[in-house]
Structure 1
């Protein structure tokens, strides 16, 4: 197969999303809308790489349909010898690396803007560049969320996309590439499955992923674009996402719960708490709860603009959920739907009202919404096995599914495989908890934008 790889423009996002929506392993976080969220919120550079199969196309008829109407016509596109937009060198300067990537002879290019033909797309890789002198220089797929990584039709395309990411990372002088997968790249090792026995998961999470010897790494390093030392590589799977399979109705879900859990859900309702599901009109109340809770946890909070852009980009697919005591918001969350799964990337509750159990009502409201809107799964988000949030989610019936985060070093340094939860920032957390909330709202986003977790 003759694979061309390029960085998409805004005009080409439709082809990207057509591929994502049709791919059986796609997730919410592969959609192109996140590109706009990252750029508009924090100004991060994004590199959304798309792989196109041009085997059946004529050289003089590139795999794009050219248009004459776009404002981008005035921008000349001139591939260079190190063009990572296409993943291969200019037609007159093809190198051995181009053939390693399967580029062959470069198609003729036009200065006009174009739209990709979705039928020829065979893979995608969303990458975001995070660079800071303290927090590091990385290409991540994708930051701030649990899932991202490569979507492709086959192993050949997966390797071509990673090879292009390596070329890009070297151009940007990044120290590493981070690919956040549910189902791991099989040729890099790892396995993916829902696990019923959490004790087995906890034991297994401390083991190093199998399968790639130093000799294989050496060979792979050359295949993927390294010209010197073998790459340092690791897969970390000590974190899980907690996934709940849903019945067809919220009534059936409530009946499936143990009596103790049902009582915990009913308690905040008896206390007079009420929930509400809405959109941007609830953003101020959401951010009020969110900012207080993040301060109390000792964690820099995301910018309000991040939540606003998520709600705008995903429109009716993204909702705010709030729990009130009268007019006072006590708990909040964000839910975003994709295919048959409703995701919950953020949730917070005010500690001083914990006796009223607003957290139980916020989660029940999300689950009720998921069932009543036809979703088959609810993703509670990332947890560490056997810790507090893990047990909280487990009581709802959620099952752990290992997350496989692939790390590839670009500077020859070994990947730190320490997965212990002992924080290096205990002192910083302690003092952050002492700050007034307005101060954390000012300083938090300036720090949080550089932290990929």
Structure 2
């Protein structure tokens, strides 16, 4: 392949009808995540109704940089361009950080949020709120178990001794997974995402579901993404009985084995807010939290959808008390604007 000379002028434009070309660029980039894929943004677009905006930087016709954006519009949470929507990662890949950032601002929304990637100068940077948890997978189950710190290893052994069944699949497990996940997030005070988002991801991306059952009833379930040798357990949770049964421990340990069998060598436990219970849970598994750098530009008051914000405290407490059918009815309408 002939590469453009570095002294050629760089240009930025919004791509249209070039998803395959963009996904090839993303897959070849060492810093990419599945949330950079055009396929991810299209799943969000179809599943949540939020428009994808794909900016590419080119030199001599060759794609050298890329910024995936989701156009979030919500009557409750305002408007923003987010890279990437409904994701924990995104941001600029490759060259052209400043011109890509300028092009994003020129799209006319009041706020632009970048979740990782190369960050433009003079934007507001937050490297304190979130931690990311990633580590290599061990060679086999025994090595994986021994890699878990002693206290958590003891809990995991109890989980392995319980009468739990592990099943894996795709769309055939989607309804079961959604029931478990919806109950889990309701209990945390968070609106559930639209069912269509999960189905679009399962249909169009390298993704599957692993579910833990007790006496035939699903008690924990996780929808995971696979990308360039890394497994991303992304939407997971458990019902109330899961804690007693240690079903979440069983689920993540089983997912490590399942991912190894699929050829993965890294486990990305996702992000958690620093100082929270989920962050402590991941540290107990032997994952060291690394700060995630996010950047934001705003032409006015920036939106804040952080559930730890005190102004949302009453909303969270109220949501936890909603009957599950009511939460599942209202949740997708609200959550499609969170992004």
Q: What TM-score does the superposition give when structure 1 sets the normalisation length?
A: 0.69
1:354 equivalent among 229, 243, 267: 243
Shift of 1:358: 0.6
Deviation at 1:259, TM superposition (A): 4.4
1:234 maps to 2:241: no
* In 2, Cα distance between equivalents of 1:294 and 1:146: 17
- Residue in 1 that maps onto 2:191: 300
User: Does the Cα contact within 8 Å between 2:77 and 2:305 map onto a contact in 1?
Assistant: no
Partner of residue 42, structure 1: 48
Q: State the distance in 2 between where 1:385 and 1:312 align.
A: 33
* Aligned partners of 1:267 and 1:357 also within 8 Å: yes
For 1:105, the equivalent position in structure 2 comes to none
- Residue from 161, 171, 176 that aligns with 2:100: 161
- Give CA-to-partner distance per residue, 1:236-295, whole Å, 9 cap, x none: 112111112222333321232344433322323322111111111011110111111121
1:368 matched to 2:303? The reply is no
Shift of 1:431: 2.1
Structure with higher Rg: it is 1
Matched, 1:269 2:160: yes
Offset at 1:22?
1.3
CA drift at 1:313: 0.8
Q: For this pair of structures, how many residues does the alignment match?
A: 331
- The 5-angstrom pairing of residues 52-451 of structure 1 reads 52-54=58-60, 63=61, 120-152=62-94, 154=95, 157-168=96-107, 170=108, 174-181=109-116, 183-185=117-119, 188=121, 217=122, 233-238=123-128, 239-314=130-205, 317-411=206-300, 413=301, 421-451=308-338
Q: Point out where structure 1 has 5 or more consecutive residues left out of the alignment.
A: 55-62, 64-119, 189-216, 218-232
The DSSP-based 3-state class of the residue aligned with 2:251 is: helix
Q: Please state whether the residue corresponding to 2:106 is helix, strand or coil.
A: helix
Q: Equivalents in 2 of 1:23, 1:244: separation in Å?
A: 19
Indicate the residue corresponding to 2:4 in structure 1. none
The alpha carbon displacement at 1:417 in A equals 9.7
Q: What stretches of structure 2 of length at least 5 have no aligned partner?
A: 1-7
Greater relative contact order (Cα < 8 A, sep 6+): 2
Give the CA RMSD over aligned residues: 2.1
Q: CA deviation at 1:49?
A: 0.9
Most deviating of 282-291 and 374-383: 374-383
Rounded to whole Å, the distance in 1 between the matches of 2:145 and 2:99 is 47
Partner of 2:45, secondary structure, is helix
State the partner residue of 1:229.
Answer: none
- Structure with bigger strand share is 2
Corresponding residue of 1:25: 31
Partners of 2:136 and 2:267 within 8 A in 1:
yes
- Contact kept, 8 Å, 1:149 with 1:179, in 2: the verdict is yes
Residue 15 of structure 1 aligns to a residue in which SS?
helix
Give the TM-score of the pair, scaled to structure 2: 0.91
| Cα displacement (A) at 1:419 | 8.4
Specify the SS of the correspondent of 2:57. strand
Deviations 1:70-104, CA, capped at 9 Å, x for gaps:
xxxxxxxxxxxxxxxxxxxxxxxxxxxxxxxxxxx
**Alpha-carbon distance, 1:234 to partner:** 0.8
CA distance in 2, matches of 1:442, 1:50: 38
SS at match of 1:425: helix
Specify which of 1, 15, 19 is matched with residue 8 of structure 1. Answer: 15
